[in-house]
Homo-oligomer: A and B are copies of this chain.
C-alpha cells in the first residue's frame, strides 16, 4: 500500500517545488512589510524583490495574506510558549511579558498585527488566522493555569478560558486598538489582579 501511494505521489511531481524560491518570497515579504507597510506590500513588489516570477507566487499562494501567514508561521510563533517554573504567578508574568513584546516590538508581531487588521476586512483571513494560529496560541496561554489547577493551586471550579481572556485581552487591546505601550508594570499588575 505504501509502495503504491509513494509512487503515485511522484507521478505528477517529478522535480517538486523550489525551496529557494519559497524562502526568497517569504523573506522579501518580511522585508517589504517592514520597509513599506502593508499598503505598500504588492505581489509585484515581492516578486521583484525576491527575484522570482509572479506566476511562481500565484502558483503556491492564493493571496497576499496567505504569504503573510506562511511568513508568520516560519518566522516566529513558538516564541510564545509559556515557561513552567512551578510558580503560577512567575509563569504568567513571564508569559505576558513575552506576549507584550511579541505584539509591540517584534517583527513577527508586525506581521501578526497586519494579519489581524486584514482579518477585520476579510472573513476568510479571520478564519485562517483563528484556525491556524489563535487556536494553538490559546492552548499555550492556558498551560500555566491548567498546570496550576492540576497542582491544586487554583480552585477546581476555575474557568481558565475566562482568566485567559482577562489576561491577554487588555494586552491585545493596547497593542491593536489604543496603541499604548505595554510595559512590564502593566502585565505584572494584570497578573496580580487576576490572581486575586
- Chain A interface residues toward B at CB < 8 A: 37-39, 113-114, 116-123, 126, 130, 134, 138, 162, 165-166, 168-174, 176-179, 186, 189-190, 193-194
Contact = CB atoms under 8 A, between A and B. Distances in A.
Contacts of A134: 177-178
A102 B154 CA distance: 34
**Copies of this chain, tallied across the complex:** 4
Contacts of A165: 170, 173-174, 186
Given A116-B176, A169-B169, 14 more contacts: A38-B122, A117-B118, A117-B120, A118-B121, A120-B120, A126-B179, A134-B178, A165-B174, A165-B186, A168-B173, A169-B170, A169-B172, A172-B172, A176-B176
A121 B174 CA distance: 16
A41 to B, nearest CB: 9
Contacts of A138: 178
Contact of A171 (B38, B113, B169, B171): B169
Contacts of A123: 37
A28 B134 CA distance: 34
Nearest to A118: B117
Contacts of A120: 38, 113-114, 116-118, 120, 176
